[in-house]
Amino acid sequence: MASLQIPSTVLALLSILLLLAALGSDHWLVATSSLGTSYLGLWKVCVNSECCPSLPGYIEVTKFFLFLALIAGFLSFFALIASFFRSHLSSVSLTLVSAMGSFSAGLCALIALTVYRGEFVNVPPDQVTLGWSCGLGWSCGLGWASFPLFLITGMVTLGTLRAS
């Protein structure tokens, strides 16, 4: 049992760290032109080193689902930690709680990132042709990396449940 329990705990922690880094950084969308570089994050927009907290509405939806993913990820992680000391809390298996938390975190992250990506795809072509080159930044990449890690964590955790 412990042979799969340790990797699932490490995967859960790694997933949470990637999601925290994605949530805390401001490089979700990077736009460059001859005038400089602009960044759009989940908390502020920075144009040529001047930042303001004015953000579009779809960012709020993205933040909401990423926070849900973070809460479910923490639930999964702490249930895994608790499962080292006891297998059940009342009649509920802590390993099963952890697996469901990981899958829920992955689903919430997928929804958040799909909403964000869907809005980025809908940028009108005339706004992109004004000399700007837009692309998704490394923060968005970290968010996308956390999604499959949460799913892998859930699968490894279910493997722990079957091995016990």
* Domains delineated in the chain: 2-25+56-123+137-163 (1.20.140.150)
Q: What is the pLDDT of residues 79-123, one digit of tens each?
A: 999 988 887 778 889 999 999 999 999 999 999 999 988 876 655
Structure tokens given for 42: 């989940």
Q: Where are the beta strands (DSSP E) in 70-136?
A: 88-89, 92-93, 133-136
Q: What is the pLDDT of residues 33-86, one digit of tens each?
A: 777 788 888 888 888 778 888 777 888 899 999 999 999 999 999 999 998 888
Q: List C-alpha distances in Å: 47 to 44, 52, 126.
A: 10, 9, 19
pLDDT for the residue numbered 28: 87
CA count, 13 A, side-chain hemisphere, 118? 11
**pLDDT band at residue 129 using 50, 70 and 90 as cut-offs:** very low
